[in-house]
Structure 1
Amino acid sequence: MNQIAAENQTSITIDDAMSESNELDSCYNCFQHFVTNGFSKIDESSFEGDIIKTSFFSSLSRNPQISYRTKIVAIHKNSNTSQCWKIRAHGFGVYTKAVADTRGGDANIKYAWYGASKNEICETVMHGFSWRRHSISVSPAKHGLDSVLCSGVDGSGVRHLLLCRVILGKQEVVREDSRDQFHPSSMDFDSAVDDISSPTRYIIWNTHLNCNILPCYILSFEAPLYLSGEQLNLNCHVRLLIC
C-alpha cells in the first residue's frame, strides 16, 4: 500500500511538473510570437515600464479586489523596423497631421487599452486590426478595467492587453446599445465615445481602424479567476453591441 501511495504521489508530482512545463512553453511561445513580430521585452523597473505598470494598476482602481490580485508577467514594446510597420507608423503620422489640420491643430491623440484573446492580439500585431467589424472599442488609459474584462485567458493562464496610441479627433456620443451606426454621423466627427465629459470607451470606426490606432506595447498579466464567466461575458457583450 505504501508503495502504491508513493507511486501515486510521484505520478501527481510528475503530472504537476509537466502541466507547469506546458504552461511555461505556452507562455514562451506567445512571447516568442511577439518578439518575432517586432516587439521587444522591457524591464518593469525601467522608466517606461514603471509608467505603464503604474498606469495599468491605476486604471483598475475601480475594483481593488481585481487590482490587488493582478500580477504583471511581461511588457513588450513595439520596436518593429520592418517595412510594413514603417508604413503603418508613417500612415499614423500622416493621418495625425491631417486630423490636426482639420480640427484646429489638435488631433486629440490619447493612449488606450485594447483587450482580446491571445490569438486576436497576435493577429493584430502581425496584420493589424480586423476589418470584419464596423468598429472597435478601446478603453482610456485610466479606465482599463473594461479591456481587462474583455481579455482572454491563454493556455498558460495569462491575459494580454495592447496599449495603443489612438487618434480621436473630434468625438461624438454613441449609446452603448446602438447597433445602427457604422461610421461617423457626419464629416464633423472622427470617432465616438460613451460620454463626452468622462469617457470610459473610445469607439474607432472600421474606416479608420489601422490609420487611427498604433499598437505601442503589449502588457501580459495574470488576473483573478472570477474575471471569467458572467462578469466577463456581460462586459464583452456591452462592447460587442457597439462593435
Structure 2
Amino acid sequence: MKKGFLKGMGFMGHATTLMALHKNNVSCSFARQARLDCFRIFSKAVGIKIGSDANVKYAWYGDSLDELMEIVSFGFSGCKNHDDGHESHGVGICLFSANSSIDSFIHNAMSTVVDEHGLRHVLLCKVILGNVEVVPVGSIQSQFNSNQYDTSVNDISDMRRHIIWTSFMNSHIYPNYILSFKYNYMKDPHIYGALKPQLLFPNLVARVSNHLKPSQMCMLVKSYRVYQVAVRTLPP
C-alpha cells in the first residue's frame, strides 16, 4: 500500500512520508461489523443483478482526520462535495480511483485538510461499482437514470472519479484504511541545495494547495506535466 501511494504521488513522492496506516477494526464495534456484513450482502446482490461479479474496486476519499474517523465509526452522513460546481459529476459521495492518473492522484491527496501536525489524511475504501453510468461535468443528477446502473463515473475510458449516490453511500462503500502522510518542506532545495531545480514545483503545489480550488489545483499539476514533457523533448 505504501509503494502504491508513493507511486501515485509521482514527482512529489520524493518528499512524501507515510506517517501512519490504520485499519478499520470491525471486531471493536457491532455497528462496524454490521456495515461490513451489509457491504458483503450488497456485493453479492449487485453481482447477481448484473450477472457477473459486483465490480468491486479500491478508491480514495480525502478529508480531515476527524471526518474520516466519523465515517469509519458511524458511516457517511451525507454528501460533502469537495469540488466546485464545474468539477462535480452528480450529487453524491465522490471517490478517486486508486488506479487514476498521477495528476488526479496528486490533486486528490493535496486537496485534503492539513491538521495541526502538518499531516494530511486519506481513506482507502472498497467500492461496489456494478454497472457504471457516465455523468457529465457540472451535473446535479442525484440518482441513476435507469435501474440497469448502480453508480456513476466521470468517463468510461478514464475512470478517475466514482460517484456513489447518497442512498447507497453506506452499503456500496466500505472504509478500509486511514492513511496519514506528510509532505516534507524541509527537503526544499533552498535549504539543503541537494535537489534538482525542477523539484521546486512540488513545494509550490504543497504550499498553495489550501488556497486553490480543486479544479485550479488540477490545472496547475497538469500544466507542470506538460512542461516536463516539453523540457525532455528539447534538443541538447
Tell me the TM-score normalized by structure 1.
0.70
In the alignment, which of 15, 21, 26 is matched to residue 80 of structure 1?
A: 26
Structure 1 residue aligned with 2:187: none
| 1:175-210 per-position Cα deviation (integer Å, ceiling 9, x unaligned) | 22112x011111010001111012111111101100
Give the Cα separation in 2 of the matches to 1:94 and 1:232: 35
Q: Where does residue 103 of structure 1 map in the other structure?
A: 50
Partner of 2:96: 139
Distance 1:176 1:235, change over 3 A: farther
* Alpha-carbon offset, residue 94 of structure 1: 0.3
Equivalent AA in structure 2 for residue 153 of structure 1:
V
**Aligned partner (choices 117, 120, 131) of residue 67 of structure 2:** 120
CA distance in 2, matches of 1:71, 1:185: 42
Which runs of structure 1 show a deviation greater than 4 angstroms over 4 or more consecutive aligned residues?
Answer: none
Q: Percent identity?
A: 38
Gaps of 5+ in 1: 1-51, 237-243
Q: How many residues align?
A: 181
> Contact (CA 8 Å) 2:209, 2:217: kept in 1 or not?
no
CA RMSD, Structure 1 to Structure 2 (Å): 1.8
Contact residue 55 and residue 142 of structure 1 kept, 8 A: no
Residues 49-60 of structure 1: pairs in structure 2 closer than 5 A = 52-60=1-9
Task: Give the whole-Å Cα distance in 1 for the aligned partners of 2:106 and 2:162.
Answer: 14
The answer as to 2:113 corresponding to 1:152 is yes
Q: Distance in 2 between matches of 1:232 and 1:72?
A: 22
> In proportion to residue count, which structure has more helix?
1
Q: 2: distance between equivalents of 1:172 and 1:137?
A: 14
1:60 positional shift:
2.2
2:61 alignment partner, SS class: strand
Q: Which has the larger radius of gyration?
A: 1
For residues 172 and 235 of structure 1, do their structure 2 counterparts lie closer, same or farther at Cα, with a shift above 3 Å needed?
Answer: farther
**TM-score normalised by length of structure 2:** 0.72
Deviation, 1:231, is 5.2
**Code of the aligned partner of 2:15:** R
